[in-house]
Amino acid sequence: MKRDRSLDVLIPPLELAGTLTLPEKARGLVAFAHGSGSSRFSTRNIAVAQGLNARGFATLLFDLLTPQEEQDRSNVFNVAMLGQRLVGTVDWLQGLEPAVASLPVGLFGASTGAAAALIAAAQLPHRIAAVVSRGGRPDLAGEALPHVRAPTLLIVGGADLGVIELNKEALSWLGGPSALEIIPNATHLFPEPGAMNAVIEHAGRWFGRHLQAPTSVRAAS
């Protein structure tokens, strides 16, 4: 029976706390960017991470803010800063053991974390292989959207009125392959029976299809 290996990590230079989970023979690594007011202990993101682990993907759940920064509510919505934290985290991953550093990297963003993930993907076109947004605000990535080359999946609840329209608008601006999946009758946090399972299924299929080294990286290797 295969067993996942979980490590508690501190990501420099701010020592951001996280959990890195490594299945045997991982096929890729997905870093999570949680939404406003959440943390690496988000039960929803943990559920998605476990679903991805079962499909052979390594995952990194980590806090984008220090405990002190969390006291200032405005930091939660500073998607430019959060995007830079993700860029730094991807750089940090490249310095880990070869079995981890060699994995293609995907990003999973929820709520405002989706915008941060897209900003990071725009800055790292040769490093980020795929992006998935859950109930996200990709529109907050603004001018970064046309520069995103990674295949991007936007998942929205069918009853998440207003957010659906914002996702459709963001979809039209994305520069790479993209798709929108609407989960029928689901609200913003996907608490309805079966809704999170649908999110996990869509995310797993998307990463399974697209999470491989970007072409330029493969060509250079």
11-67 pLDDT per residue, tens: 999 999 999 999 998 999 999 998 766 678 888 899 999 999 999 999 999 999 988
- Which residues are bridge partners to 32 per DSSP? 108
Distance CA 20, CA 121 (A): 20
pLDDT at residue 67, rounded to an integer: 87
User: What six digits make up the tokens of 49?
Assistant: 């991470």
> CA-CA distance, 129 to 113, in Å (whole number)?
17
pLDDT confidence tier of residue 1, bands split at 50, 70 and 90:
very low
CA distance 93 to 105: 9
Is residue 105 within 8 A of residue 90, CB to CB? The reply is yes
DSSP string computed for 16-64 = EEEEEEE-TT-S-EEEEE--TT--TT-HHHHHHHHHHHHTT-EEEEE-S
Contact 127, 105 (CB under 8 A): yes
Reported confidence tier of residue 216, pLDDT bands at 50, 70, 90 = very low
Question: Going from the N-terminus, what domains does the chain have, and what CATH number goes with each?
Answer: 5-220 (3.40.50.1820)
Task: Note the pLDDT of residue 210.
Answer: 95
Tokens read off for 47? 């559920």
| Residue 72 pLDDT | 86
pLDDT value, residue 4? 84
Report pLDDT for 26.
94
Tens-digit pLDDT profile for residues 156-207: 999 999 999 999 999 999 999 999 999 999 999 999 999 999 999 999 999 9
User: Considering the chain, what percentage of its residues have pLDDT values greater than 90?
Assistant: 80
* Band (220; pLDDT cuts 50, 70, 90): very low
The tokens describing 18, both together, are 């996280």
State the CB neighbour count (10 A cutoff) for residue 176: 18
Task: Find the helix or strand (DSSP H, E) in which 157 lies.
Answer: strand 152-157
CA–CA separation, 27 vs 151, rounded Å? 17
Of residues 88 and 4, more confidently modeled: 88
Looking at residue 221, its pLDDT comes to 32
Alpha helices in the chain (DSSP H): 43-54, 67-70, 79-93, 98-101, 112-123, 163-173, 195-210, 215-220
Average pLDDT, stretch 96-101?
92
Q: What is the pLDDT of residue 41?
A: 81
